[in-house]
DNA sequence: CAGCAAAGAGAGTGACTACTCACTTCATCA
DNA sequence: TGATGAAGTGAGTAGTCACTCTCTTTGCTG
């Protein structure tokens, strides 16, 4: 297996593990073990643990942009936004994505991570703006509800049957914005 | 100083440190040092580091509830919601609060932390519901924009002058919901 | 076949960290 | 006065973890 292929499979594992434990709460050893390589070799593929984390952050946002582009297809305007919203709901089924996103936000005290996270978020924002073309208030409403769904999914509210939890998790009314 | 007083001052430091580093990224030694006690004594005040973290999570949400109650005062309905929203914007000036909140969400993989975070969020939700009495869609819109402001503050977007960052940070239009 | 570069691992190392044990100081009160 | 109990600490301990040094294997090429 070439180094680049290894790097890709290590990254796939790293995203999952970092999503669960964050930068400080994840050891390079478990990433290496799950990726099927030795821990020293991990450090030849990625110079530092933080580098691997930064790559995971960038990858997470980049994947979402590509997903949104596919979801929008030839649509534009509110229909495009609705299609993107639906694809986001699908994305949240696997909690890895949103947890990784939250880890990125929560680690923004570190300047390097903050820069990477800002860039990822900005590109995502611009992608939705470009794909849908809706005005900025609608865009903000879209992202706001996305963030609420993130934390709701993080707390696993969809699995609760209590009244308040169901209210939090209802999809945003598409007519409002 | 009594043990209870010590516990309170340790908690104050712990909230700040956990907000920056999260559970795994914060050492009990720096908390003890900043609180002016020895590290062994910290473990007499709080049995484990995780216990201290859980207390910090609960405290963060509880403080917000009290703050919202004060902000709402005798108001109700949309005016109450607006007052609460303003007090939340004030609260976000100090990044400690929102970072601690994000750390709580990001640590929800742990069952104990998830339970504490759910409870805190639920009580906050119910408080705003009770204080304002607005319908659930408006409530959801309020929390959604709150979450967006959280992550925007985490990334320190308000300090950026770029167009997209300013758009993200605009306050939610109060008429929409 | 010789040589070379890349893939990969074994065995550390020094620093850190959650938590413990045994100890001291000191105010209170029978 | 002497005992009690609460506040508080010095000095560990066992374990973890990011990262390194050095070595082996393997596939390719001249």
Under 8 Å between Cβ of B87 and B71: yes
Nearest-CA distance A1 → chain B (Å): 33
For A107, phi then psi, to 5°, come to -95, 10
Instruction: Summarize pLDDT for A14-32 with one digit per residue, the tens.
Output: 999 999 999 999 999 999 9
Question: In chain D, which nucleotides are within 7 Å of a protein Cβ?
Answer: 6-12, 16-22
- Whether pTM > 0.75 for this model: the answer is yes
User: For a pLDDT cut of 70, what percent of chain A falls above it?
Assistant: 97
Size of interface A-B (CB pairs under 8 A): 133
pLDDT at B165 over 60: yes
Beta-carbon contacts of B72 under 8 Å, excluding residues fewer than 6 positions away, are: B80, B83, B84, B131, B132
B interface test, pick of A96, A110, A155, A156 with most B CB neighbours within 10 Å: A155
B175 neighbourhood in chain A, CB within 8 Å? none
pLDDT for B174 equals 56
Determine whether the interchain pair B25/A20 forms a contact, defined as Cβ–Cβ distance below 8 Å: no
Beta-carbon contacts of A124 under 8 Å, excluding residues fewer than 6 positions away, are: A61, A64, A65, A68
Under 8 Å between Cβ of B148 and B102: no
Instruction: Summarize pLDDT for B90-134 with one digit per residue, the tens.
Output: 999 999 999 999 999 999 999 999 999 999 999 999 999 999 999
Nearest to A173 among B114, B137, B154 (CB): B137
Determine whether the interchain pair B105/A106 forms a contact, defined as Cβ–Cβ distance below 8 Å: yes
pLDDT at B175 over 70: no
């Amino acid at each position: 297996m070439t180094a680049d292929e290894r790097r890709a499979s290590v990254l796939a594992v790293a995203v999952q593990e970092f999503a669960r434990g964050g930068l400080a709460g994840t050891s390079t050893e478990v990433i290496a073990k799950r990726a099927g390589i030795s821990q020293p070799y991990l450090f030849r593929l990625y110079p530092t643990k933080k580098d691997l984390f930064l790559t995971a952050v960038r990858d997470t946002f980049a994947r979402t942009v590509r997903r949104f582009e596919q979801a929008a297809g030839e649509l534009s305007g509110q229909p495009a936004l609705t299609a993107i919203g639906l694809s986001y709901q699908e994305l949240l089924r696997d909690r890895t994505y949103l947890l990784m996103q939250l880890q990125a936000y929560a680690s923004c005290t570190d300047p390097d991570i903050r820069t990477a996270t800002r860039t990822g978020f900005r590109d995502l924002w611009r992608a939705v703006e470009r794909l849908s073309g809706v005005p900025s208030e609608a865009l903000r409403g879209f992202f706001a509800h996305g963030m609420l769904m993130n934390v709701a999914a993080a707390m696993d509210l969809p699995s609760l049957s209590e009244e308040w939890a169901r209210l939090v998790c209802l999809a945003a009314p598409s007519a409002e914005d």
